[in-house]
Amino acid sequence: MTKYRADLTVLSSTDVAQDFTLLRVSTHDIDPVIAPGQFAELRTVTPTGNLLRRPISIHDYDPKAHVLSFLIRRVGDATKAICRLRPGDKLDTVFPLGNGFPLDKAGNRPLLVGGGVGVAPLMLLAKQLISCGASPVCAFGAKTESELLLIDEFSRLCPVHISTDDGSKGIKGFVSDLPLFSPSELSSFSSVMVCGPTPMMKAVNNRVASSSIDCFVSLETMMACGIGVCLCCVTDTQEGNLRVCTDGPVFNTKSLKW
Amino acid sequence: MVKLSVNLGNNLSLANPVLTASGTFGYGYEYDDFFDVSSLGGFIVKGTTLEPRQGNPAPRMAETPSGMLNAVGLQNKGVEYFVSNIYPKLLKYSNCVIVNVSGSSVEDYVATASRIAQLDHVAAIELNISCPNVKKGGMGFGTNPDMAAQVVDAVRKVYSKHLMVKLTPNVTDITAIARAVESAGADSVSLINTLLGMAIDAERRRPMLSTITGGLSGPAVKPVALRMVWQVSHAVKIPVVGLGGIANATDAVEFLLAGASAVQIGTANFIDPSTPARVLAGIEDYLRRHNIDNVNDLIGSLIV
Ligand SMILES: Cc1cc2nc3c(=O)[nH]c(=O)nc-3n(C[C@H](O)[C@H](O)[C@H](O)COP(=O)(O)OP(=O)(O)OC[C@H]3O[C@@H](n4cnc5c(N)ncnc54)[C@H](O)[C@@H]3O)c2cc1C
Ligand SMILES: Cc1cc2nc3c(=O)[nH]c(=O)nc-3n(C[C@H](O)[C@H](O)[C@H](O)COP(=O)(O)O)c2cc1C
Ligand code: FES
């Protein structure tokens, strides 16, 4: 897959919840091939106090309309600056990067698990799985109802099960406490694909580990280059230290030292 | 047409003075999608050691004001893996491929350099002497003139092609080290490697890096690097290759003015993967604007 560095024009920037922005940019005359779970390295064209780019998952991509979207949590200076961009502004983008979720290993009933902003890459994943004939099911967890993102949009695509830490929506507890993870229900799924905070991904993996189902997780580590050259982003695996940016970010949990 | 080629001695002639820094450019091919890598004077691949190295645990990186700290710890798959799996992929590049060699003993350096000496398409070795000598209590080869000279002398005996020696800035007098490696047979010196630094996460009361301290690079180090290039270019007769914080053509020109015969682009590759191509075009533009038709006339031409 060819990688690009391009200044993409912002089409819209919408707040989808407190601290979360949906940013849509135009890929205009380039025709990238994008797999769900891949990411981009972003920075604003006008310099900010931050030197390095920030890795952000590709949330959605419409190749016909040439629209690429990101779902961004405004945590620090760089994400705030990116989310302040207005239509017509440029977003300096290096993409698509990394290996996405393996569509060929998803099977016909994959369970997509998202925690917080970890739902970001699951939109394109759900859409592509459906267009391949699969019937995904989503399980989303968040601290509280206001941090559940794009539930309506996902619900239009497939069934969505919800948990919140405070019980404000769905079951009270972690996403891994959902009845879906009971051995009897879990066995109806062909694979599990997860993106979210590491403790949540580990909890999900613990529930899946006793089954024969493959569990794929999208890891987050500190990245400098995003293209496999700096070796800053490694995670410890059965094969030693591997780069999250190019050997991942999606890994089968069996290959990790979890 | 401006003349851009520079000669670093002992048969290392570069089509232009732009190189890339080891550890920031992978093995070159990672940049194929972004620009024509062969258009550069050359590129320097990731530090290679005799045996495979796993490097340090995560976290290995922290962003700092105008810079970054890294604690990669020379992760690489070892020289044999390089020779059989990576070297064949470098044959397509028509410019100078330079291999950065690291070690933890003189014997390691010599064994790795001997293996690299067998590769026709490698134009030069850049010897990274910023590594701890495990046999000498972990003291850095590059922080002691005698130890620096010893490793360069030993490698010189097994490597006849161009030997560039990369200096660490973490010393009181870098010119003493530069003179020592020149006497031991280095064909050129490159500087600077990263500056030892540290970053702390105050909220968590913890260091940002697994190794507590790490190497600082990026624009923050440029003034230190320029000063050292200036000092070293006046202390030795062999060519000096300058690096440290170069992010654009103006930065590169500053190093050439200070006395560097060529420059390397490092951390800036992470921010814009096409930086080396931009720097090259910008140097050419600078020469034209200043009516200089040969880049060699710019080298060391600082007006003081
Ligand atoms: C593959 C991948 C995909 C991601 N996808 C998304 C996404 O779709 N939406 C989203 O909101 N966030 C995503 N993130 C997280 C996002 O990269 C960080 O939130 C962002 O870098 C924070 O930058 P900041 O300057 O706003 O905050 P800062 O104040 O700089 O940092 C806040 C926290 O963000 C993390 N972080 C900072 N710099 C980096 C870096 N260079 N590389 C990795 N992590 C860093 C650290 O944990 C840090 O403590 C992803 C991260 C990775 C690795
Ligand atoms: C992530 C990273 C890895 C590096 N790895 C090596 C290495 O393997 N060998 C080496 O000699 N220098 C290594 N360096 C140092 C750079 O080559 C360069 O000397 C330094 O970063 C200063 O230049 P810069 O400010 O342009 O990056 C590394 C630097 C970084 C940031
Ligand atoms: S971020 Fe540089 S190798 Fe992964």
Q: What is the CATH number of the domain that holds A233?
A: 2.10.240.10
pLDDT at residue B136 is higher than 80: no
- Annotated catalytic, B131? yes
- Identify the weakest region by mean pLDDT among A237-251, B132-146, B233-247: B132-146
Interface touch B61/A224, C-beta < 8 Å:
yes
pLDDT (0 to 100) of residue B1: 81
- Does residue B133 fall inside a structural domain? yes
**Is A196 found in the same domain as A107?**
yes
Q: What is the CATH number of the domain that holds B156?
A: 3.20.20.70
B304 lies in some domain? no
Give yes or no: residues A116 and A189 share one domain: yes
Mean pLDDT of B186-196: 97
A204 and A112 in a single domain? The answer is yes
Domains in chain A, number? 3
Of A97, A121, A137, the residue that ends a domain is: A97
Give B272's contacts in chain A (Cβ within 8 Å). 5, 92
Q: Calculate what percentage of chain B has a pLDDT beyond 70.
A: 98
Domain extent, residue A240, equals: 219-258
Indicate if A244 and A231 belong to the same structural domain.
yes
Domain boundary among A77, A97, A117: A97
- Mean pLDDT, chain A, integer: 95
User: pLDDT-derived band of residue A235, with 50, 70 and 90 as boundaries?
Assistant: very high
What pLDDT score was predicted for residue B137?
A: 62
Q: Which residues line ligand 1 (CB under 6 A)?
A: A 39, 50, 52, 54-57, 71-73, 75-79, 117, 120, 220-223, 249
pLDDT tens digit string along A50-86? 999 999 999 999 999 999 999 999 999 999 999 999 9
Domain range spanning residue B184?
6-297
Query: In this structure, is residue B231 part of a structural domain?
Result: yes
SS3 assignment, position A255:
helix
pTM of the model: 0.95
- Looking at the structure, tell me whether residues A89 and A184 fall in a common domain: no
Q: Return the pLDDT at A47.
A: 83
Question: In whole numbers, what is the pLDDT of chain B averaged over residues?
Answer: 96
Is residue B283 a part of any domain in this protein? Answer: yes
Residues A185 and A258 both lie in one domain: no
Q: Helix (H, G, I), strand (E, B), or coil: what is residue A107? A: coil
User: Confidence band (pLDDT; 50, 70, 90) for B138?
Assistant: low
Residues A107 and A204 in one domain: yes
Residue A14: partners with Cβ closer than 8 Å, 6 or more residues away: A21, A22
Are residues A137 and A82 part of one domain?
no
Under 8 Å between Cβ of B232 and B164:
no
> Does A108 lie in the same domain as A86?
no
Contact across the interface for B58 and A221, Cβ inside 8 Å: yes
pLDDT-derived band at A163 (thresholds 50, 70, 90) equals: very high
**By CA distance, what is B75's nearest residue in A?**
A231
Residues of A in contact with B54 (CB under 8 A): 240-241
The two structure tokens encoding residue B85: 């799996």
List CB contacts (< 8 A) between A229 and chain B.
Answer: 23-26, 30-31, 46, 269-270
Ligand 2 atom showing the smallest separation from residue B219 Cα:
25
A225 lines ligand 3 (CB under 6 A): yes
pLDDT class of A49 with cuts at 50, 70, 90: confident
Q: Within an 8 Å CB–CB cutoff, is residue B44 touching chain A?
A: no
> How many domains would you assign to chain B?
1
Residue B40 falls within a domain, yes or no?
yes
Clarify whether residues A122 and A208 are in a common domain: yes
- Closest-CA residue of chain B to A232: B60
A29 and A132 share one domain: no
Say yes or no: A110 and A194 in one domain. yes
Q: What is the pLDDT of residues B256-298, one digit of tens each?
A: 999 999 999 999 999 999 999 999 999 999 999 999 999 999 9
CATH number for the domain that contains residue A196: 3.40.50.80
> How sure is the predictor about B160, in pLDDT bands with cuts at 50, 70 and 90?
very high
Which stretch of DSSP H or E encloses residue A205? helix A198-209
**CATH code of A8's domain:** 2.40.30.10
